Amino acid sequence: GKISLLRAFCLKTGVQILLREYNFEMKNKPTFGESDIVNVFPVVKHINPRASDAYNFYTTGQSKIQQGYFKDGYDLISEALNLLNNVYGAMHPENAQCLRMLARLSYIMGDPQEALAIQQRAVLMSERVNGIDHPYTIAEYAPLALYCFANSQISTALKLLYRARCLATIVCGENHPDIALLDSNISLILHAVGEYELSLRFLEHALALNIKYYGEKSLKGGRLVYHLVARNTELHGRIFRSALNNEKETYGHPISNSLGENARRRHRKSVRSGLAPSEPKTGRVVPARKKNGTNLPTPKWEKL
């Protein structure tokens, strides 16, 4: 929105304005005055020097991780962090990047408590060196929320995602693609604690954004969100047809066409059987038919 545009303009031109509520809708009065300009500072473009040894350790660690050697990758990135501490000091954006990778590796190797402790350091460092509203800092909140959720700190995880969403809305607006990812994560936590109505609202907003930017048939845009909406609709007790339609949308996407026909048929059958108890019984009950004194299996209800 206009706040995001104003913020980007001030950062790029080096203008610092007074912190207050600005009314952009007034037509008979200017939005800004001379007293609103607090400071003007130079914006300098330069190339940041790089610690070559630490960079080599970091890239080698990344290649080890891609090959599946997580412990070796962890050791190499830890060595890169030690070198960065010796070159830059305790506070630097590259240090925060190493800490984020170490936290991710700890989580992958099955130590969520260690991952949480390391990611907390990464977030605090990014807030100090990048700023609380920097895109890197906002991106740090999502893994921190994941690790809090893994350590059963549900309310803390939800607060972190709400904070990340609030900052992202200020920085890039309500309709940015990254908002869809945050909304999906918020919805999953709300779904886990039983807040199905609020969870569904976040999911529907994420689905609308994904369709807007990636299209209805995009693998990233619809398949998973359609499935989550369907499951949420089922658990919330909404209309059966709505949940089933969302599942049909899920398995109408191209990724499902890459599966074998038998696999898709089996999954559709399991989905229908899982959702069927929620379907309203609109048909009449048919009594069991008898033949030679034996009851034949009949459906509990048939559609009119």
Q: Which domains does the chain have, with CATH numbers?
A: 2-40 (no CATH), 53-173 (1.25.40.10), 189-264 (no CATH)
pLDDT bucket at 294, cuts 50 / 70 / 90: very low
Task: Tell me the two tokens of residue 13.
Answer: 């031109």
pLDDT digits (tens, 9 = 90+) for 78-117: 999 999 999 999 899 999 999 999 999 999 999 999 999 9
pLDDT digits (tens, 9 = 90+) for 237-257: 554 445 455 555 555 555 445
The pLDDT of residue 232 is: 61
- Mean pLDDT, all residues of the chain: 79
Task: Tell me the two tokens of residue 237.
Answer: 């007790």
pLDDT digits (tens, 9 = 90+) for 195-242: 888 888 898 888 888 888 887 776 665 555 665 666 665 555 554 445
pLDDT digits (tens, 9 = 90+) for 38-59: 999 898 888 888 899 999 999 9
Cβ 141 vs Cβ 161: under 8 Å: yes
Query: pTM for the complete prediction?
Result: 0.70
DSSP per residue, 96-164: HHHHHHHHHHHHHTT-HHHHHHHHHHHHHHHHHHT-TTSHHHHHHHHHHHHHHHHTT-HHHHHHHHHHH
Task: Give me the percent of the chain exceeding a pLDDT of 70.
Answer: 71
> How many Å apart are CA 135 and CA 141, to the nearest integer?
10
Cβ 182 vs Cβ 164: under 8 Å: yes
The pLDDT of residue 298 is: 34
Nearest Cα neighbor of 126 from 135, 137, 139, 115 is 137
The pLDDT of residue 131 is: 87
The pLDDT of residue 31 is: 86
Task: Give me the percent of the chain exceeding a pLDDT of 90.
Answer: 40
Cβ 184 vs Cβ 201: under 8 Å: no
Q: What letter does residue 277 receive in the DSSP assignment?
A: G
| Bridge partners, residue 7, by sequence | none
